[in-house]
Amino acid sequence: MTSRGLSMYNWLSVITFPQTLDDADRTATAAKLQALLQELPRVRSTMAMPSPADPFRLNGGDLVCRTVFESRGDYQKAVDSQQGQQVKALLNDQSTAAALNEVGYEGGLSGGAVTSPTIYRVALFCANIEPTRDRLEQFRTETSLMPSYIKTIQRWQLSTLSSQDTARGLHHWTHVWEQEYAELDGLTGTYLFHPDHWAHVDRWFDPEYPEFLVDPVLVNTFCPITTSVILT
């Protein structure tokens, strides 16, 4: 079942640590970010989890931070707060974040049930190849239908950023595609090799197809979770 997201507003950061940062400093930085995010006013949920090295990832960073608010207004108040400014200072500090891909976005199409997820996956896309309204709508429709065929996807959300949203990093991102899985193989095995993925939706990402829409430079990453993080 597919539904439109309500008023939840999400703040997502994919952080790449400097190579000079050792394991202890990385753990300490992650813990500091998690603590600051939890102290943000009007926050609904927070996550700051390491992204394991894996061939599936692309520009996947080292740490995935995701925070949920009731509305865009609550998000803005949180960012403007003392704790929010401390978070922004860490994200903008080259000694903490050598590279950063960041988005603030309202929940979009969503579906699935909350069961017992252990993996959160997110991809950031920039649909900038002849992005007509009809092509964007078809891409959104076909992508949001993937969970109907790929049964390992538990909960999911496909969000389209607006001009009012935050989008920075390798691109001015246009779409956020999120899923939750019971186990990693459901993502790197079933999802990755499912015909609906590689033989159908993948044509939007392939310059050899006339449907080619999404810039080849994208973010694709995942991290472990202990509870559902996609709130709608």
User: Which sequence spans correspond to the domains of the chain?
Assistant: 2-224
Question: Residue range 166-180: average pLDDT?
Answer: 97
Give yes or no for residue 188 having a pLDDT over 70: yes
DSSP the chain: -EEE--S-EEEEEEEE--TT--HHHHHHHHHHHHHHHHTSTTEEEEEEEE----TT-BS--SEEEEEEESSHHHHHHHHHSHHHHHHHHHHT-TTT-SEEEEEEEE--EEEE------EEEEEEE-B-SS--HHHHHHHHHHHHTHHHH-TT--EEEEEE--TTSEEESSS---EEEEEEESSTHIIIIIIHH-HHHHTTGGGGG-TTSTT--B-S--EEEEEE-SS-----
Residues 231 and 108: their CA atoms lie apart, in Å, by 11
Q: Is the pLDDT of residue 2 over 70?
A: no
State the pLDDT confidence band at 232, using cuts at 50, 70 and 90: confident
Mean pLDDT for all residues in the chain: 95
pLDDT tens readout for residues 136-159: 999 999 999 999 999 999 999 999
User: Does the pLDDT at position 187 exceed 80?
Assistant: yes
173: number of CA atoms within 13 Å, CB side? 29
| Band (3; pLDDT cuts 50, 70, 90) | low
Amino acid at position 197, single letter: H
pLDDT computed for residue 115 by the predictor: 86
Nearest to 230 by CA among 5, 58, 1: 5
pLDDT of residue 4 exceeding 80:
no
Strand order across the beta sheet in which 63-69 lies: 43-50, 63-69, 9-16, 99-106, 166-168
Give residue 56's pLDDT. 93
- For domain 2-224, give the fold: Alpha-Beta Plaits (3.30.70)
Confidence of residue 114 (pLDDT cuts 50, 70, 90): confident
Q: With 0-12 CB in 10 A as exposed, 13-18 as middle and 19+ as buried, what is 106?
A: buried
pLDDT in tens, 42-93: 999 999 999 999 999 999 999 999 999 999 999 999 999 999 999 999 999 9
> At 5, is the pLDDT very low, low, confident or very high (cuts 50, 70, 90)?
very low
pLDDT of residue 25: 95
Q: C-alpha angle 44/69/187, rounded to 5°?
A: 80
